[in-house]
Amino acid sequence: MSPTTLAAIIAELESAYDPAWAEPWDAVGLVCGDPGRPVRRILFAVDPVASVGDEAVAWGADLIVAHHPLYLRGTTTVSAATPKGALVHRLIKHDIALYTAHTNADVADPGVSDALARAVGLTGALRPLQPSAEDPRRGLGRVGDLPAPMTLREFAAQAVRGLPRTAWGLRVAGDPGRTVRTVAVSGGAGDSLLGLGAVRAADVFLTADLRHHPAAEFLQAGESGGGPALIDAAHWATEWPWLPQAADLLASALAAKGINVETRVSRTVTDAWTTTAQCED
């Protein structure tokens, strides 16, 4: 296996997920690591947390590519007395770099929502729900058509099979028997997109972190206007499908230059919710 430097890996990542595409509030790029060190093994994960760090150490990874930032709101300390600081210390001790591609990966072409759309069964052309002004092929969310119409109940069953398993599965709002063909998706928290025309024109919108009031008001407005059904998935589950896509993209780009790296997609479930309970009375 031909070693290459972390700097070369970062250059390839940023050609696919340009940091300039990230939102102004975001924190993307290299968190820790020496750009001059060789990289042979790269672990892709949604969350940079202790369990992912354990997996990286056990596998002998040289780099973790995470979707979520470690310090989104900044910090004044990396003390090992804090959970995030302890992770930084452990990664540095084991010569493991950490790199983040967040909202720049969300809007990339292909990006997080492309992978989500494919995971839930969309096979044809996709277009952004909110296209970028600089390039209409990029942007937030995706919308496309299923190969054939199906009921909302059938689509929800298909979607839950295509996504990684989580404690709460999917929450569905709408008539289970309604026909769906056009599907809008957005990886991660998506209720800020409920007002978009492309969402309202779809038969169903699948995203994560839908809050009660925005969802309820959206559904009430749709009762007279024929808006879409809603499907709420776990945040982690909607972004996990990007990991194999990103790993394949990076490995292929490097291989075209004669550089071979070993990639691995973390299957460590880092969703915050671990179980559910229902009242038996």
Residue set of the binding site for a divalent metal cation: 67-68, 106, 235, 239
179 DSSP β-pair partners: 151
CA distances from 141 to 16, 118, 205 (A): 17, 12, 10
Q: How far apart are CA 10 and CA 100, in angstroms?
A: 10
Residue 279's SS3 state is coil
**Structure token digits, residue 121:** 């069964």
Taking alpha carbons only, the member of 236, 240, 235, 234 closest to residue 168 is 234
Contact criterion met (CB below 8 Å) for 10 and 99: yes
**Structure token digits, residue 48:** 């940079």
Q: How far apart are CA 149 and CA 180, in angstroms?
A: 6
Q: Point out the annotated binding site.
A: 67-68, 106, 235, 239
Q: DSSP labels for 32-71? A: E--TTSEE-EEEEES---HHHHHHHHHHT-SEEEESS-S-
Q: Is the peptide bond before 110 cis (omega within 30 degrees of 0)?
A: yes
